[in-house]
Amino acid sequence: MNRLEGKRIVLTGGAGGIGLPLAHQLHKLGAHVTNVDRLPCPAAQADWLTDLNDDTALAGLAEALGNQPPDILINLAGVLAFGLHEQQDPAQLALCYRINLAVPALLARAVAGPMRARGSGQIVNVGSVLGAIPYPWFAAYSSSKAGLAALSQGLGRELAGSGVTVTHVAPRAARTAFNNHSVNRFLAVAGMTADDPNDVASRICAAMLSGAAQVTVGRMERLFGLINAIAPRIIDRGIAPQLRRLKAEFS
């Protein structure tokens, strides 16, 4: 039997560009997927339609998950803040940190204890390579995703030996509506790879099945993330020509 056969999975952001193919792939692997989003997901078997930016709605969701914890919680929902940090709308900044970091933290809190008591479960947090290699014009997004990586690592250490695993997946950019014209232009000028959403979904599934604590998409991205953690000035020098082109375009 497939390891996901019959598993109950709660997926936030299932109606999005990566969420839809991910829900489809999880269903093909035998899972029962509940989508948590403002819009329904055609590939999910159930929908919990809600606004994660609403305190009352979020509290109700967390309570429900705590009372009936799924086999797997996938925190995929995310918000992008792009542009010079000094020009960001404060409300958009708050939303970015809330959806990308606070919501996963609160939902993980809701299920961690019940999963521990049950002796089984998995929490999957979907971050970004920009959390390990922060770029200008993505300061808020990068820092929110860096926080998600730290949350995953800390929570994984808390739950070690309990039968509950925590997996953090850091994809590269994907070709979805998540990226507006400016973001797509940034990727083009920077020469960054934007992956097919189906491929990203496949990598998330593979990471889940592996049970690995940390999975970063892209061999060079893994290397650059390690270098940035140890010697960030090397990365500064390496991306200097790239940043000159970007500043000419966006500053």
Residue 99: the pLDDT is 98
DSSP state of 98: I
Backbone angles phi, psi at 79, to 5 degrees: -130, 140
The secondary element (H helix, E strand) that includes residue 157 is helix 139-159
Q: Does the structure show a pLDDT above 80 at 251?
A: no
Spatial separation of the C-alpha atoms in residues 174 and 41, rounded to whole Å: 19
- Mean pLDDT, rounded, for 184-204: 91
Query: For residue range 172-193, what is the model confidence (pLDDT) as tens digits?
Result: 999 988 888 889 898 888 888 8
Q: What global pTM score does this model have?
A: 0.94
CATH number of 8-250: 3.40.50.720
- Dmax (CA) for the chain in angstroms is 55
CA angle 18/131/116 to nearest 5° reads 75
- Mean pLDDT, rounded, for 68-79: 98
More reliable by pLDDT, 40 or 250: 40
Domain map (residue ranges) of the chain: 8-250
Query: Is 217 strand, coil or helix?
Result: coil
CA angle 179/215/23 to nearest 5° reads 60
The secondary element (H helix, E strand) that includes residue 177 is none
Spatial separation of the C-alpha atoms in residues 29 and 44, rounded to whole Å: 13
Place of tokens 């799924």: 70
118: number of Cβ within 10 Å: 14
Query: How high is the mean pLDDT of the chain?
Result: 94
Query: For residue range 56-70, what is the model confidence (pLDDT) as tens digits?
Result: 999 999 999 999 999
Spatial separation of the C-alpha atoms in residues 119 and 42, rounded to whole Å: 32
**121, β-bridge pairs:** 164
Spatial separation of the C-alpha atoms in residues 140 and 94, rounded to whole Å: 9
Q: How many residues does the chain have?
A: 251
For 49, the token pair is: 């339609």
Spatial separation of the C-alpha atoms in residues 157 and 98, rounded to whole Å: 23
Query: For residue range 136-173, what is the model confidence (pLDDT) as tens digits?
Result: 999 999 999 999 999 999 999 999 999 999 999 999 99
For 61, the token pair is: 């969701």
Spatial separation of the C-alpha atoms in residues 40 and 22, rounded to whole Å: 14
Q: Does the structure show a pLDDT above 60 at 120?
A: yes
Residue 26: the pLDDT is 97
Residue 179: the pLDDT is 84
DSSP state of 1: -
